[in-house]
């Protein structure tokens, strides 16, 4: 079967494309190679995928004309592509264009794929708001442009299911880390600061934030399980993450322990819209998917450190 993975040169999607290829799927990736962060990192991911026989097409989901680059015979679409993160440097219009309008364009393309069995929207715990500890039927209360627009994208996709136009579901991910994590994210930046002997900018108060730090391999496993059980997921929202909680400070301490390096912390003003507590409520994923993350934070961080050393030192 044939699967389209959007945002395929990015962090999580590149791992997902690899897993699907190993399982025997025909995988096509697309990415717009946004300059939100260093495009050389995305190109490194693309090269890794193409060495495994996974083509990654450069195209922009916001441009309807570019969909002509794609065949119309996909069995599944897994939609990762988005304007990520909570950043004061990103305008609301950029979030709107990349997260909402691009998703609506992709839905239009999905309808032209007569073989399409299921559309998976990749969402985020940010839709829950400042505290993300709830089951999937809780009322979302996003507190950032990112969360608001990801919720809007999710609802566009689920509306297709409600109106019986397309089988679709949405998977909400929690605090994913691991090899290929974006350079501005917590652990990649911590590791980089350690090796470069630079201070790490710590948002004021964030050291006390609680997070469900979830290893990327455990996320990929959950999404793969969803693909396998797509026939029971139409219209469903599923949380994917770990139930284990750590403060940001505990994560910092663990990186220092694994590296044997003391990292200087520089307090900077707190970030608006930053979640203060996430804990993945995965009772539904356990019941429907038999989902159970297995990677400890220490194990996952060691794998991330190994990746960083192999590619950047």
* 151-187 pLDDT, tens digit each: 999 999 999 999 999 999 999 999 999 999 999 999 9
Q: Among residues 95, 128, 146, 246, which one is catalytic?
A: 146
Q: Which CATH class is domain 2-173+216-240?
A: alpha beta
Q: Which CATH class is domain 177-210+244-281+288-312?
A: alpha beta
Residue-wise pLDDT for 204-235, tens only, equals: 888 899 999 999 999 999 999 999 999 999 99
Instruction: Give the H/E segment covering residue 184.
Output: none
Domain-wise residue ranges, the chain = 2-173+216-240, 177-210+244-281+288-312
Q: Would you say the pTM of this structure is higher than 0.85?
A: yes
Work out the average pLDDT over 61-75.
Answer: 97
Residue environment code for 25-63, b if the CB has 16+ CB neighbours within 10 A, otherwise e: bbbbbbbbbbebbeeebbebbbebbeeeebebeebbbbe
- Based on the residue annotation, tell me whether 146 is a catalytic residue of this protein: yes
What per-residue confidence (pLDDT) applies to 66? 96
């Amino acid at each position: 079967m044939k699967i389209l993975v959007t945002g395929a040169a990015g962090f999580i999607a590149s791992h997902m494309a690899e897993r699907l290829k190993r399982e025997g799927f025909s995988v096509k990736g697309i990415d717009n190679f946004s300059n939100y962060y260093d495009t050389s990192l995305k190109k490194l991911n693309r090269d890794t995928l193409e060495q495994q026989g996974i083509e990654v097409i450069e195209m922009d989901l916001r441009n309807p004309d570019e969909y002509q680059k794609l065949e119309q015979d996909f069995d599944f679409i897994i939609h990762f592509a988005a304007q990520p993160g909570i950043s004061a440097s990103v305008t609301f219009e950029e979030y709107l264009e990349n997260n909402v309008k691009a998703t609506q364009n992709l839905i239009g393309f999905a309808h032209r794929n007569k073989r399409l069995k299921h559309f998976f929207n990749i969402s985020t715990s940010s839709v829950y708001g400042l505290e993300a500890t709830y089951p999937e039927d809780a009322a979302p209360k996003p507190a950032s442009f990112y969360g608001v627009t990801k919720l809007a994208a999710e609802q566009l996709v689920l509306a297709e299911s409600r109106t019986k136009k397309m089988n679709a579901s949405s998977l909400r991910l929690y605090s994913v880390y691991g090899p290929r994590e974006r350079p501005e994210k917590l652990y990649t930046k911590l590791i980089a600061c350690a090796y470069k002997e630079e201070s790490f900018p710590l948002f004021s108060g964030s050291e006390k934030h609680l997070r469900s730090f979830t290893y990327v391999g455990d996320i990929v496993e959950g999404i793969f399980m969803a693909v396998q059980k797509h026939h029971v997921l139409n219209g469903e929202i599923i949380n994917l993450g770990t139930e284990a909680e750590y403060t940001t400070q505990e994560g910092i301490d663990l990186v220092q322990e694994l590296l044997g390096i003391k990292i200087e912390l520089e307090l900077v003003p707190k970030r608006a819209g930053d979640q203060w507590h996430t804990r993945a409520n995965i009772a539904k994923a356990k019941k429907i998917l038999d989902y159970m993350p297995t990677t400890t934070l220490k194990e996952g961080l060691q794998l991330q450190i190994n990746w960083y050393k192999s590619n950047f030192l």
